[in-house]
Amino acid sequence: MEPKPSDTSFSGIGTPLFQWQAPEHEDFELGPRSRMITTSLLIVIIGYALLTNSPLMAITFILIGVVGYLLQHQEPRILTYALTTKGAVLGKDFYRYNTIESFHIYTEYPFENLLSLKVNGTLLSHVHVPLPEGERDTIYRSLREFVPEDTHEPSLVDTLEKFLHI
């Protein structure tokens, strides 16, 4: 089991090279028109599911609505990110450099100032980390010492994640 970083100690996971804090996701606010359209769409889909005798589909879309509502009204947590001599600390997770296949720093809209790490994961192959303003070059130089750089093209899931602010 990998050691978990604490707020102040990096013992067991290397000497910190660079550390920063950022929100876990982008904060967003839906306007009244967007809320009305989203609510209406969910009601129509849930009604269709009930008419076609698909209770599982209805439950799924009810849960999607509840999760969306909770995300809308929850402030994003501020997480600590760090690059150490042994790996990358991303919030409460630690990725050793030998488990990171490559990295890419996006500079184009809508993904600007976003670090993408390609990891050896079956369910999660890319991890995205927001970068602090003006520190892109420092982080690039620090990562380049341990991990190869490769271009990561945003997938449909990445684009939806950015569009839906999750």
Q: What is the average per-residue pLDDT within 135-160?
A: 80
pLDDT for residue 2 is more than 80: no
- The region, left, alpha or beta by phi > 0 then psi within -120 to 50, assigned to residue 165 is left
* Torsion on CA atoms 60, 66, 68, 72, rounded to nearest 10: 180
pTM: 0.67
Q: Which helix (H) or strand (E) holds 159?
A: helix 156-164
Q: What is the average per-residue pLDDT within 25-32?
A: 73
> Over the chain, what is the mean pLDDT?
82
Mind listing the pLDDT tens digit for each residue in 66-99? 988 887 778 888 888 889 888 888 888 888 988 8
Mind listing the pLDDT tens digit for each residue in 119-135? 887 677 888 888 888 88
Q: Which of 15-29, 50-64, 76-90, 144-158 ranks highest by mean pLDDT?
A: 50-64
CA 141 to chain centre: 22
User: Are residues 118 and 52 in contact, defined by beta-carbon separation less than 8 angstroms?
Assistant: no
Q: What is the average per-residue pLDDT within 39-47?
A: 94
83: nearest Cα among 95, 75, 73: 95
Q: Where are the beta strands (DSSP E) in 91-144?
A: 93-96, 100-106, 114-119, 126-130
Give the percent of the chain with pLDDT over 90: 17
Domain boundaries, the chain: 16-26+76-164, 32-72
16-26+76-164 fold: PH-domain like (2.30.29)
CA distances from 153 to 42, 111, 137 (A): 31, 11, 20
Pairing relationship of beta strands 87-90 and 100-106 according to DSSP bridges? unpaired
Separation CA 38–CA 117 (nearest Å) = 32
User: Are residues 105 and 112 in contact, defined by beta-carbon separation less than 8 angstroms?
Assistant: no
